Structure 1
Amino acid sequence: MDQAEYWYAVASVLLFFKMFAISLYQGFHRIGKGTFKTPEDAAFVGREPAKEELPQVQRAARAWLNDLENIPIFLALGIAYVWVGAASGMAVWLFLVFTAARYLHTFFYLCGIQPWRTVAYAVGVVCMFVMTIQILAALP
């Protein structure tokens, strides 16, 4: 297996686990506090629906939305990176630094830590721009 393919696969799996962890985080807070905004979920546990989501759930939802703005773009760029045979040696750095930046971004988002949340976001974006440059450079 090509080095870029390998690291793309590793990054994809790690990003899946990260996003799944956000779902678990939300469920942990909802179940732990017995607070559900969705009527059928509240009824299932014999409670009235909450007027709004818990603050932890709201923050996690915003982190999830930020992932949905960035991770699919990374995944698409990663496929293009592998397909065109872009710099294989850089793949490990670009793919894993992006993944680490997304993990840190989520951690900083959930903890409300600035400016580190923005720094982590910017590192991920820089990785995607470098990937784009490498893709374009590899085109005939």
Structure 2
Amino acid sequence: MIVGFTRSKRGVTPNPEDAAALTGGKPELVKTTDAVVERRRRAHLNDMENIIPFIGLLFMYALSGAGTASCVTLVAQIFTAARVGHTVAYIGSVRQPARAIGFFVGLLCNLYLGAKVLIHMY
């Protein structure tokens, strides 16, 4: 949603067909790359690369009985806070190490869930 809104606002399209539709048949008037759009797109991709595995690990953790409900809730809250912080830092161009901290806290949550599931299963 953020990427699409930014593309629309800045007049940037991912392909010539969309550019032609926006400019009334003149695709050369619209550029297809923009630093702001690309930064937000990368933030979106980074979120997908981290949140989707987390959801899978969270379900495996919860269904395997590797931990308590309160532990699942706490890990989910920590992960959510870390990813929101990472995304805000990424989109807002906050200086490092803010973005790195958000990334590594989320990564540690994923590693913790994965390790607990593996230990519980074997």
* RMSD of equivalent CA atoms: 1.8
Offset from partner CA, 1:68-114 (integer Å, 9 cap, x none): 32122112211210221121221111111111211111111111221
The one-letter code of the counterpart of 2:2 is: Y
Q: Which runs of 5+ in 1 are unaligned?
A: 1-23
Structure 2 partner of 1:91:
72
Please point out which of 18, 21, 35 is paired with 1:44. Answer: 21
Secondary structure class of the residue paired with 1:41: helix
Structure 2 partner of 1:107:
88
> Runs (4+) of structure 1 moved beyond 3 Å?
49-52
Please point out which of 94, 106, 117 is paired with 1:124. Answer: 106
Are residues 29 and 100 of structure 1, via their aligned partners in 2, closer, same or farther at CA, if it must alter by over 3 Å?
A: same
Q: Which runs of 5+ in 2 are unaligned?
A: none
Cα distance in structure 1, aligned partners of 2:59 and 2:10: 41
Please point out which of 55, 64, 68 is paired with 1:75. Answer: 55
Cα distance in structure 1, aligned partners of 2:4 and 2:48: 19
Structure 2 partner of 1:53:
33
Bigger radius of gyration: 2
Highest relative contact order (Cα 8 Å, sep 6+), 1 or 2?
1
Q: Are the equivalent residues in 1 in contact too, given 2:15–2:32 (CA < 8 A)?
A: no
Secondary structure class of the residue paired with 1:45: helix
Offset from partner CA, 1:47-83 (integer Å, 9 cap, x none): 4254442212100111122123212211221121022
- TM-score when scaled to structure 2? 0.83
Cα distance in structure 2, aligned partners of 1:86 and 1:94: 13
The one-letter code of the counterpart of 2:60 is: A
Identify the range of structure 1 (114-123 vs 41-50) with the bigger mean alpha-carbon deviation.
41-50
